[in-house]
Structure 1
Amino acid sequence: MTQQPILVLTTGGTIDKSYFDALSEYQIVESGIPALLREARVALPFRVVELMRKDSLDLTDADRELIAAAAREAPESRIVVTHGTDTMTDTAKVLAAAVPGKTVVLTGALSPARFAETDAPFNLGMAFACAQVAAPGVYIAMSGEVFDGLKVRKDRAAGKFVSDDLR
């Protein structure tokens, strides 16, 4: 298998949240994704571009267009987008319509990457694996599963993504 480079676009979300003391709220800080990739000893070529530092509930249509434009205009055909989980499916829809012919995988975390007990490294690894082998399209990689980006929803009560069989 040839190793095609992967572009990682970071947008913020829980995966990049931190807190500074017991009285403060979580804040999105500089992306920890480059450190996670170094710690994982990722050997294939990759490039990280920090697009924004936003909670996904604060993303606007203009932000989603910026994410789509960055993916569409990138020389890489395999892309991982780190994103908050609350509106990940909304961004997946925009990407599916605006970025043809590329493999785009969205991932995030249900607890910050800086926490000892986090799903961030596993989800990021799943997204990298999916981006390497999946056909062009938009996917969501979370909790050990890969979903069609247009046929998935976040089940907030269960704290996970589930296939949306109604579509």
Structure 2
Amino acid sequence: MDDLNSRFHLIATGGTIDSYYNVDSCTPECFEESVLPHYLQQHAMLSRQSFQFTQLCMKDSRDISPQDREAMVERICSSPERSIVLTHGSFTVFETARYIADRQGSFTDKTVILTGALKPIDGFVHGDGLFNLGAAILASQHAKPGIYVCIEGQLYLPSDRENWH
């Protein structure tokens, strides 16, 4: 029971969850720097010591490249934490989850949870971002080792769905 609430590694890659709503273009746009550590500390009351944070990129998931996905795998492999939460855009989150799962042989002892949101965390009181992020953190600490997508209060295997919407 000692590692029931173990440290986790939060890896940010952008997506709507880590964006702001641009009123001129009527679309979410990724921040240059992730707001997720701030939100976890200020709104979820997590201490900065309870998680490691890495910002790999800040992109719309439709712009994620094979090189970005490989960087995700490399960061997961090199992380000292067994619980990994990777935030990602909703359009290609299942594609990325399948990519990571295909390379899981080098980190079979880790639980990797991909999550995102349909509304940005910043500026949307009734969005799904903080809920999905909190559910993903909990899942990363309690699910069996493997690769999962956590959205809308559910855990999915990468092969369970083709896409989110």
TM-score, with structure 1 as normaliser? 0.86
Match in the other structure for 1:28: 30
Match in the other structure for 2:153: 144
**RMSD, aligned CA:** 1.6
Code of the residue aligned with 1:33 in structure 2: it is L
Q: Which is worse superposed, 40-49 or 10-19? A: 40-49
Deviation at 1:155, TM superposition (A): 4.8
User: Percent identity of the aligned residues?
Assistant: 36
Deviation at 1:154, TM superposition (A): 2.6
CA contact 2:28–2:120 (8 Å) conserved in 1:
no
Against the structure 1 CA distance between its residues 46 and 155, is the aligned structure 2 distance closer, same or farther, given a 3 Å change threshold? closer
Against the structure 1 CA distance between its residues 83 and 155, is the aligned structure 2 distance closer, same or farther, given a 3 Å change threshold? closer
Q: How many residues are treated as equivalent by the alignment? A: 155
Following TM superposition, the consecutive aligned residue runs of length 4 or more in structure 1 with deviations greater than 3 angstroms are none
Q: Which has the higher contact order (CA 8 A, sep 6+)?
A: 2
For residues 98 and 163 of structure 2, the distance between their equivalents in structure 1, rounded to whole angstroms, comes to: 14
Match in the other structure for 1:14: 16
Code of the residue aligned with 2:50 in structure 1: it is P
TM-score, with structure 2 as normaliser? 0.87
Query: Deviation string for 1:96-145 (max 9, x for gaps)?
Result: 12233110000000011112221000000100110000111001110111
CA contact 1:72–1:98 (8 Å) conserved in 2:
no
For residues 33 and 155 of structure 1, the distance between their equivalents in structure 2, rounded to whole angstroms, comes to: 21
